[in-house]
Structures are given as structure tokens and as C-alpha cells.
Amino acid sequence: MDMDKLVSLCKRRGIIFPSSEIYGGLNGFWDYGPLGVELKRNIKDAWWRDNITLRDDMVGIDCSIIMNPKVWEASGHVGGFSDPMVDCRETKERYRADQLHVFRYDLAAISEGRVQIFAVALTGGTVDDARGSLSDRMTNLSRKGHLPIKLKDLPEPEVVEFLSVPVADRDGIVGPSATKPGTLTEPRNFNLMFESHAGAIADEANKVYLRPETAQGIFVNFKNVVDTGRVKIPFGIGQIGKSFRNEINPRNFIFRSREFEQMEIEFFCRPDEAAEWYAYWRKTRFQWYIDHGIKSDKLRLRDHDPDELAFYSTATADIEYEFPFGVSELEGIAHRGDYDLGQHQKFSGKDLTYFDEEKKERYLPHVIEPSAGADRATLAFLCEAYQEDEVGGETRTVLKFHPRLAPIKAAVFPLVKRDGMPEMAEKLYRDLKKHFNVFQDEKGAIGRRYRRQDEAGTPFGITIDGQSITDGTVTFRDRDSCRQWRVPSANAVQALRDLLEGQAVPGGESEGQA
RNA sequence: GCGGGUGUAACUCAAUGGUAGAGUACCUGCCUUCCAAGCAGGCAACGUGGGUUCGAUUCCCAUCACCCGCUCCA
């Protein structure tokens, strides 16, 4: 599957447009068109219904996007995730300043009081980890003649973090891939969160942030829900909503954008049952994608390595999809312990513990967080659905959406535009439209109308022909198999409902439309 | 943010230092009884801003957007 073809189809069929396109677009922002908004809404509705409505242990919430800024101090987004970045002028590489380590030599005795320093980058390493890599790097620099002094003449170095080196001394540092000192820029802050001001006057005192995740709105409402929702642990709170992040580099269509929509669950449970619930959600959420049409082996469930985990998490798994641009994360299921409630308890000074009636015990619940990207899911469903088939020797482009997700559920066609067929089609269309999003098309050849709907992912076509006028039956046509069968017009609403709910297409295998 | 590439109609492409042509799509007719049919007509584009030039869609610069790689993705 070619990403360009999908982007082009999305544009052509009104699924996804570049944001504010007539002004040249805006990097990292996209708009959903008439078909796209239906698709995405169906995905969100399916998620909500399966995870909230149909369950006894889940409730929903819808929090404001802008919250008290202290929320983001507690969550760590203000302090922790504004990573300073360092660029190398020589090699054009970029590093996170907090991951750079430096060999610091005191050359005062042999080099006119100058302190000469060398640096090497590590990914997430500690000072001790850095030592070996730095030694290798020094040997390498020495061999290539980039050192001012022979390696054996150097004094014993001290391993320090880049950020701890005084600014005045930093021009003596050789970058991790550079050959000369002084090519690293000063660290520049990378602001993850969008900032704004609550109130007409913009100053520091009223600075606010657009939320970078929906999760914190759930945590800060935990007490409210417990106090008013008649909920008992174990239970979860779900939320669907927009979030905003200043990604360094938005890329890959709607996969990484700066404004995006999340579908998140925070599931609160007893500490000693958390591992079980983690296993449960890990499995349940993976199956959800399969049940909605991602049946290929492009869907993966990957457990994080221990060194990949956030410090507060004891287990995390990613649901990944093999997109044309690579394998990327659709949803993360994280065992977060009591970290978040603990943080908010600390920062707000409010007691967020839960009294367990059964155990007669008060504790801070542990949390399992299945956090899904609505736009990423939409893209995965699009990629999975996109196919180029052969029908009667002709290639057709078809989006094989699960009927539950398809933007249009059925299209109604008069076979030709005369003999009462358009009138009968119109009536059937009106009847169906009371129940489903259906579409009517009487223009052009019937084959073309079928193909148009194939491209929009419409699972069923209903055609009114000459026989319909005499005996009142209409022809149903299945998108995936192109198979056809007749149904009395009076039963069309129920027949379509059955099909959308997974009833097999007559005369063949169900084609996996369960 | 760096390097490379691309930017012409809704989509896919073409040509050109003298303001652009096609296919598909779309619209209007006619014709059409089941998988992108035919005929006739129609709508519709040089990303943006500068510069060079008598004249720029074409050459140059900048900018914006998209794609690939690096970085990043808490």
C-alpha cells in the first residue's frame, strides 16, 4: 500500500484535507471532510460503546482542555518534558542536552590553564554507562589526530553531565560526532505544551496550557467521580477528547500531528489486583482492533523492555500497526501504579485515597491506562481497508471497512432513470435514512456507481430494477464479494440492520464481517 | 531544527522565457436493465512573496506546505 495513494484518495473523496488549505495549510494540522468525520465518529462511537456504555465498571467524563496549570506541574509536563536540545554545527546532529555526557580533563598544568573537554552522546544512559563510550571515542579521536595532546599524556578525566559544565567552558567540548571543539549550540528549550493566557491580558500570572493528554483530567476528577458516581473499585473512567503537543516534527499524514484526539481509560483497582487488570486490558484492547477489521499481521502487541519503562511503571505494552512508513504505536496500555493519584495528592494537598468497603481498608488505587489515539486508529483502519482488487478484469480501489465503521452504510440506486425506478429508490432511501447513514445516486452507469461507493467503503448497494416495480424486491450487493441477492423492499431496513450487525452475506462465506 | 526532493485543474500527469494541454472526476443534455459504456457541451490550475527581464508558470532568492532521511515522539 502506497501512502501517497491513500492521501490522494482521502483528499479526493473528502475524508481528510490539509488544514486551512487555501492559505497554504499549516504544518501538523489536518481537517476531516464529510466522509472522514463519519469514519472517525464511528470509531469513537464504537470505542465509547464498547468501553463505557456496554460495561458496568466504566463511566465517562469530558474535561476542559485548559486546566489549572498546577495540574501540569503535578503530572511532570511543565518541569520534565521541556527537554533542552543541543545541535551540532559541524555534523548537523541533534541531541537531548540531558543525555549528553562529557569527559572533563583539567589541563591547567599542561595547556595554559585551559580546560579541554570531550563529549559523547548516549541514549538515556547514566554517567557510569557513559564512561566506556567516552573512552572509545577518545581512542578514536586520538587515532585520527584530532587531539591536541597524546592520549597517554592526558590526566585522568572526570565524567560529568553536559548541563553541569559551566557555559564558559562549553566551547571546549567536542561534539559526539564532531572532530573539532566548539561546534555544539547552547541548549534550546523544547516546549511540549501549547501556551495561552486565560483572560484578556497576557502575562505570566495567567499563563495556561492546552492539555497534552486527556488522562490528567480524569485523575483530577477521581475524587469527584468516587463521591458522586456510585462507583466501586475496580472501575474505570473513560474520556475522548482533543489534546495538543508541540511535536518537534509532525510527520506521516495524520499519524503525528500537533492537534489530535485521544481515547483514554484510567482503570482504578486494588494494588494487589493491578497486574491482573493490566493483563486483562492488554488483551481486551488488542482484540478490539481485530474485531473492527484489522485482521492482518500488521497489528502487533509489543511489551516494553524493562529499560524502556517510565520509572513509575511496572509494565507497559504498545499496540502497534505496520504503516507504510513503518511500525508505529496506536495505543499504549500502561500499568502506572499509584503514581498519578500520588502526585495529585501531593500537589493539591487533597486526600485522594479510596475507602474499600469490602476490605475495610483505605488506600491509593493503582491505575491501568489504555490510551489510544483516535486519529492514529483512523489512519490504521484506512490503511488496512485500502485495497486494489480485480473485478471482471478491471482494477478497482476499495476501502474494506468494517460495516460498523463505514461512513456510509448503504447506497440506493435506481438501475436506470425511468419507469418508476427513481421514485421507488427515493422512497426506499427515505425509509433507510431514518435508521442509517445512506446515500442515493441515480447518475451514470450502475457499474460506476458501485465503484464510487467501493471507494468510499460503503459495504452494501441496493438497486431497484424493472423486477422491483412488479414484485417489490430489490437487489442487495456486497462490497467485498460483489455478490448479489434479492430482498423484498419492505424488509430492506431489517435486512440491512442484520447485515450491519454481522449476519453473513447469502450464498457465501461471511467474509469476516462479524 | 538540519540535509535532500517535490509543488501546474478536485485527482494523476504534460508542455513552455511570449500567461498552459490531456486523462480521470465533476456539472448539463441525450442514450442506457447490474460492475469505472457511448455521444455532445460545460466548469476548472501554474503554492505565496520578491528579484532578473520588454515579458516569468519556466531562471534566481526567500517563504510556506508536503515527501524521504536525521533528530524527536515524555
pLDDT tens track for A449-470:
999 999 999 999 999 999 999 9
For A379, residues 6+ apart whose C-beta sits below 8 A from its C-beta are: A253, A254, A255, A323
Cα(A320)–Cα(A257) distance, rounded to whole angstroms?
17
Question: Shortest CA–C1' contact from A328: which nucleotide?
Answer: B73
- A438 in a structural domain: yes
- A243 in a structural domain: yes
Do A95 and A144 belong to one domain?
Answer: yes
| Angle CA A187–A181–A148, to nearest 5 | 155
* CATH number of the domain to which A463 belongs: 3.40.50.800
Which parts of chain A sit beneath pLDDT 70? 79-85, 87-96, 98, 106-134, 141, 144-151, 155, 167-169, 171-172, 177-183, 186-190, 248, 508-514
Protein footprint on strand B: which nucleotides are under 7 Å from a CB?
1-3, 7, 10-12, 25-28, 31-37, 47-48, 64-74
Cα(A9)–Cα(A15) distance, rounded to whole angstroms?
8
Helix (H, G, I), strand (E, B) or coil at A492: helix
pLDDT score recorded for residue A157: 72
| Angle CA A77–A80–A84, to nearest 5 | 115
Do A92 and A35 belong to one domain?
Answer: no
pLDDT score recorded for residue A498: 96
Do A50 and A99 belong to one domain?
Answer: no
pLDDT score recorded for residue A3: 86
For CA atoms A355, A358, A360, A363, give the dihedral sign.
negative
Question: Shortest CA–C1' contact from A243: which nucleotide?
Answer: B74
Provide the CA A50 to C1' B17 distance, Å, integer.
63
Burial of A503 (0-12, 13-18, 19+ CB in 10 A): middle
For the beta sheet containing A84-87, the strands, ordered from the edge strand earlier in sequence to the opposite edge, are: A94-96, A84-87, A188-189
pLDDT tens track for A358-412:
999 999 999 999 999 999 999 999 999 998 888 777 788 899 999 999 999 999 9
pLDDT score recorded for residue A511: 41
Question: Shortest CA–C1' contact from A463: which nucleotide?
Answer: B34
Last residue in a domain, options A382, A414, A442: A382
pLDDT score recorded for residue A433: 94
What are the cell numbers at A44? 469513537
A302, containing H or E segment = strand A299-303
Do A201 and A68 belong to one domain?
Answer: yes
Q: State yes or no: ipTM above 0.85.
A: yes
Residue nearest to nucleotide B38 (CA to C1'): A445
Last residue in a domain, options A341, A356, A382: A382
- A391 in a structural domain: no
Q: How many residues does chain A have?
A: 514
HEC letters along A24-86:
CCCCCCEEECHHHHHHHHHHHHHHHHHHHHCCCCEEECCCCCECCCHHHHHHCCCCCCCCEEE
Do A336 and A457 belong to one domain?
Answer: no
Cα(A32)–Cα(A143) distance, rounded to whole angstroms?
57
Residue A110: domain span: 84-189
| Angle CA A375–A395–A300, to nearest 5 | 35
Do A258 and A342 belong to one domain?
Answer: yes
Provide the CA A11 to C1' B54 distance, Å, integer.
42
Neighbours of A53 (CB within 10 A): 11
For A168, residues 6+ apart whose C-beta sits below 8 A from its C-beta are: none
Do A45 and A107 belong to one domain?
Answer: no
Omega within 30 of 0 (cis) for the link into A271: no
Do A26 and A168 belong to one domain?
Answer: no
pLDDT score recorded for residue A514: 34
Do A171 and A203 belong to one domain?
Answer: no
- A512 in a structural domain: no
Residue nearest to nucleotide B71 (CA to C1'): A94
| Angle CA A383–A387–A390, to nearest 5 | 175
Cα(A103)–Cα(A122) distance, rounded to whole angstroms?
13
- A227 in a structural domain: yes
Q: In Å, how far from its chain's centre is CA A407?
A: 20
Do A254 and A354 belong to one domain?
Answer: yes
State the total domains in chain A.
3
Nearest in space to A367 (alpha carbons), one of A124, A56, A75: A75
* CATH number of the domain to which A218 belongs: 3.30.930.10
Rounded (10°) CA dihedral A458, A462, A463, A467 = 160
Provide the CA A340 to C1' B73 distance, Å, integer.
21
- A393 in a structural domain: no
The phi and psi torsions of A398 (rounded to 5 degrees) equal -140, 140
Question: Shortest CA–C1' contact from A395: which nucleotide?
Answer: B36
Helix spans in A304-387 (H): 339-348, 374-385
Do A334 and A259 belong to one domain?
Answer: yes
Helix (H, G, I), strand (E, B) or coil at A486: strand
pLDDT score recorded for residue A353: 96
- A335 in a structural domain: yes
- DSSP labels for A80-130? TS--EEEEBTTT--EEEGGGEEEEEEE-TTTTTT-EEEEEEE-SS--HHHH
Last residue in a domain, options A189, A204, A230: A189
For A459, residues 6+ apart whose C-beta sits below 8 A from its C-beta are: A401, A403, A406, A409, A410, A478, A479, A480, A499, A500, A513
Provide the CA A404 to C1' B19 distance, Å, integer.
50
Question: Shortest CA–C1' contact from A419: which nucleotide?
Answer: B33
Provide the CA A25 to C1' B2 distance, Å, integer.
22
- A250 in a structural domain: yes
Do A328 and A426 belong to one domain?
Answer: no
Provide the CA A23 to C1' B56 distance, Å, integer.
23
